[in-house]
């Protein structure tokens, strides 16, 4: 970004209050999401190894679906926030309803695909003969909750765009508690086994969607926004989300390549990689919370035709990203002796993971900037550039990662390649932020 004069103290404090108010609840909601899978695993695990293995396959597929369709939240946040900044809450809520309708239509399409194809999908993911029937059962039942799950994503985007991250936190926490209780009741109380776990999750997702829809519909009625599906609006939501889908798929491909290369390095390396990756994902939640705040704040400033406010907010959030990254990196270094024994007692796996963790720790300040700028550009509705930048990143990362098993260096070299990937992302995002081309003001981009 271009050189700018020092930010006044009052301005800095205002931005800090906005960032904290949005990022802290967003972080809580993000952390609550993986707890759903953990609760399911804890309950199903007592049914037997085959059932737990089946759950593992099915939950991996569902988690992938969530990550692929997360554009429903991101694109909706940016579009709604712009209209909030422009002072047109009616249009903001109308835009939000378009995103929700798109989510419901996509969810129905996914059900139509998953129900007949579930056995083949499970087999393609390498489930064993004993685990496959359980994975198929869980996947088929859980598929019925996908429209609700996608509606939750879109509605979360609506509320974030309305500068409300507290309601998603409350719903996520209540959903986790409800999910755990229903799973225990249906799996053991009703004797439904793994199907009971899936039904518990479906019912919870439907309840969460109902709460979100209740909040959004009340707001729409209060501001006289139409609740009916509008094909032009739904098409616009899909067009805004398509580039973010490309971005997400490119990122998922990067993570899949990394895991595949770790598997080629040997059992100790893939085990250590899973440990390091789990920590990397946890750290990403903290940084993603700032990015979510960035989506909402930047969209609002641009919608209000306040280019200077958007630039200042971007600068301050980058500072937050760097500071958070430094803190997280130091925590990783300090917590290594405590963290690794939680996952393994194998000394070889620990020795393999240790230097890779140091690489992850050193990369956190860089990751902090990447996450923040990613959120800023999403909030600006700059999806096409994000898609192109991530494709470029994939093109750089893939050949480097594929050479790791041949050139040596083990897991540490692989995570160095992951850090290179983040460095490429930083370069592409920084160049865009510095150019100012992302600053397009108005209620729509």
| DSSP state letters, 168-191 | HHHHHHHHHHHHHHHHHIIIIIS-
First to last CA, the chain: 21
Give the side-chain half-sphere CA count within 13 A for 225: 22
Cα distance between residue 146 and residue 213, in whole Å: 15
Cα distance between residue 284 and residue 280, in whole Å: 6
Q: Record the tokens describing residue 409, joined without a space.
A: 């260096």
Strand, coil or helix: what is 266?
Answer: coil
Question: pLDDT (tens digit, 0 to 9) for every residue of the chain, 445 residues total?
Answer: 445 667 788 888 888 999 999 999 999 888 777 777 777 878 888 888 889 888 888 887 887 777 889 999 999 999 999 999 999 999 999 999 999 999 999 999 999 999 999 999 888 877 788 889 999 999 999 999 999 999 999 999 999 999 999 999 999 999 999 999 999 999 999 999 999 999 999 999 999 999 999 999 999 999 999 999 999 999 999 999 999 999 999 999 998 899 889 888 888 888 888 888 888 988 998 899 999 999 999 999 999 999 999 999 999 999 999 999 999 999 999 988 887 887 778 888 889 999 999 999 999 999 999 999 999 999 999 999 999 999 999 999 999 999 998 888 899 999 999 999 999 999 999 999 999 999 999 998 8
Cα distance between residue 208 and residue 388, in whole Å: 34
| DSSP state letters, 10-63 | HHHHHHHHHHHHHHHHHHHHHHHHHHHHHHHHHHHTTT-HHHHHHHHHHHHHHH
| Secondary structure element (H or E) that encloses residue 1, with its range | none
Task: Provide the whole-model pTM.
Answer: 0.91
Cα distance between residue 261 and residue 409, in whole Å: 12
Cα distance between residue 335 and residue 174, in whole Å: 30
Q: Record the tokens describing residue 155, joined without a space.
A: 């509605």
pLDDT at 86 (0 to 100): 96
pLDDT at 7 (0 to 100): 75
Contact 283, 426 (CB under 8 A): no
Q: Would you state the torsion angle of the CA atoms of residues 186, 188, 193, 197, taken in this order, to the nearest 10 degrees?
A: 40
């Amino acid at each position: 970004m271009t050189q700018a004069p020092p930010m006044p103290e009052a301005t800095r404090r205002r931005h800090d209050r906005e960032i904290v108010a949005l990022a802290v609840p967003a972080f809580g909601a993000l952390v609550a999401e993986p707890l759903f899978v953990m609760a399911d695993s804890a309950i199903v695990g007592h049914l037997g190894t085959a059932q737990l293995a089946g759950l593992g396959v099915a939950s991996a597929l569902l988690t992938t679906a969530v990550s692929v369709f997360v554009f429903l939240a991101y694109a909706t946040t940016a579009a709604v926030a712009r209209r909030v900044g422009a002072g047109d809450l009616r249009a903001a809520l109308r835009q939000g309803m378009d995103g929700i309708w798109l989510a419901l239509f996509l969810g129905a399409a996914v059900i139509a695909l998953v129900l007949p194809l579930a056995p083949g999908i499970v087999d393609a993911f390498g489930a064993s003969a004993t685990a496959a029937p359980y994975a198929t059962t869980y996947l088929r039942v859980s598929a019925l909750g996908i429209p609700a799950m996608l509606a939750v994503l879109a509605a979360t985007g609506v509320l974030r765009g309305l500068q409300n991250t507290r309601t998603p936190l409350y719903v996520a926490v209540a959903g986790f508690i409800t999910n755990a209780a229903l799973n225990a009741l249906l799996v053991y109380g009703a004797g439904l086994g793994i199907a009971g776990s899936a039904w518990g999750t479906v019912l919870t997702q439907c309840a969460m969607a109902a709460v979100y829809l209740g909040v959004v519909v009340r707001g729409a009625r209060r501001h006289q926004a139409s609740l009916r599906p509008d094909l032009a609006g739904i098409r616009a939501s899909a067009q805004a989300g398509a580039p973010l889908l490309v971005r997400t798929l490119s990122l998922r491909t990067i993570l899949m390549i990394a895991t595949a290369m770790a598997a080629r390095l040997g059992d100790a390396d893939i085990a250590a990689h899973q440990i390091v990756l789990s920590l990397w994902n946890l750290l990403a939640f903290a940084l993603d919370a700032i990015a979510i705040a960035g989506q909402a704040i930047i969209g609002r400033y641009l919608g209000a035709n306040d280019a200077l406010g958007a630039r200042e907010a971007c600068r301050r959030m980058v500072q937050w990203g760097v500071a958070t990254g430094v803190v997280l990196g130091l925590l990783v270094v300090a917590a290594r002796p405590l963290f690794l024994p939680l996952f393994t007692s194998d000394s070889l796996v620990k020795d393999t993971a240790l230097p890779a963790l140091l690489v992850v720790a050193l990369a956190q300040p860089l990751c902090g900037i990447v996450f923040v700028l990613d959120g800023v550009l999403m909030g600006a509705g700059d999806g096409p550039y994000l898609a192109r930048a991530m494709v470029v990143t994939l093109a750089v990362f893939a050949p480097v990662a594929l050479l790791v098993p041949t050139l040596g260096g083990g897991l540490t070299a692989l995570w160095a390649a992951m850090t290179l990937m983040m460095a490429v992302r930083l370069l592409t995002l920084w160049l865009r932020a510095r150019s100012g081309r992302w600053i397009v003001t108005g209620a729509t981009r």
